[in-house]
Amino acid sequence: MQATPPRALTIAGSDSGGGAGLQADLRTFFANGVHGMSAVTAVTVQNSVGVSDVSEIPPSVVAAQIRAVATDIGVDAAKTGMLATTEIIMAIVAACDEVGIGTSVPLVVDPVAASMHGDQLLRDEALEAYRTELLPRATLVTPNLDEVRLLVGIDVTNADEQRQAAKELHALGARWVLVKGGHMHHDPTCTDLLYDGNDFTELTGPRYDTKHTHGGGDTLAASITASLAKGTSVPDAVAHGKRFIERSVQASYPLGAGVGPVSPLWVLDD
């Protein structure tokens, strides 16, 4: 009988266009040799052009999904994506506390607040729940620069501001912080900054000239989560995720009338 693979859970919204959200997470888990499970938080009406509608799942149902898989199949690492409301966040926090996610089980928090088209995916009042309830339970938080501005009020335009943002996010309780630099478009390279409260690690890679990057943040966080599910350390998991997303962006493709998705369609052999 074949051994059970590592198990990863995504707690996220559904993207009907298949490029981001839990669809991207599950594709990435599979590409990394990990069994993927999901707790759906919201259903978006979405295509390559944008998000036209969102229907939130009842918080009790979101929490029940987490408990169902954790108490039967088990979870080796988990990530969050689109959480939408304070009530959903609080239900997730309660369920995760019950099953050890965020304590004995690593939790990656990708603070999804808006789509790449600028469509808001998080209610304003939910930001405080992110700061006070979710981030203190995070093994790693992976904001882009727009999400940094929402969470700590810093408009990052250079490396010094990126470091200050990492410090302020860490002060909110996350054990590790990865401030992504992809939105600093003036730089021909892309530098993400990892911080553990003491040391900074810069992860620099090429910036690709493509608009087909839908689902890139989800794919990065999911590949890190997959590595953590295998027992990898946070710095090694982040380095793996950085390599994985670079290759996924290289393989991105057009889809529909707007932007296309990244393509996490292989297992990295490293």
pLDDT tens, residue by residue, 99-142: 999 999 999 999 987 656 555 567 778 889 999 999 999 999 99
Q: Is residue 91 part of a domain?
A: yes
Beta-carbon contacts of 221 under 8 Å, excluding residues fewer than 6 positions away, are: 25, 79, 81, 108, 110, 142, 241
Beta-carbon contacts of 208 under 8 Å, excluding residues fewer than 6 positions away, are: 246, 249, 250, 252
Q: Is residue 190 part of a domain?
A: yes
**Crossing angle, helix 216-229 and helix 21-31, to 10 degrees?**
40
Range of the domain at 32: 7-250
Q: Is residue 259 part of a domain?
A: no
Percent of the chain with pLDDT over 90: 74
Q: Assess whether pLDDT exceeds 90 at residue 71.
A: yes
Q: Is residue 270 part of a domain?
A: no
- Tokens coding 242: 């950085």
Adjacency order of strands within the sheet including 77-80: 51-56, 35-46, 7-15, 77-80, 107-109, 140-141, 176-179, 189-195, 200-206
Alpha carbons 80 and 229: distance in angstroms, whole number: 14
Nearest Cα residue to 68 out of 25, 111, 104, 99: 99
Mean pLDDT of the region 251-265: 87
Q: Is residue 192 part of a domain?
A: yes
Q: Is residue 118 part of a domain?
A: yes
Look at the block and give the residue holding tokens 């969050």.
Answer: 80
Mean pLDDT of the region 10-36: 96
Indicate the pairing of strand 77-80 with strand 140-141: unpaired
Give the total number of structural domains in the chain. Answer: 1
- The domain that contains 162 carries what CATH number? 3.40.1190.20
Q: Is residue 66 part of a domain?
A: yes
Q: Is residue 225 part of a domain?
A: yes
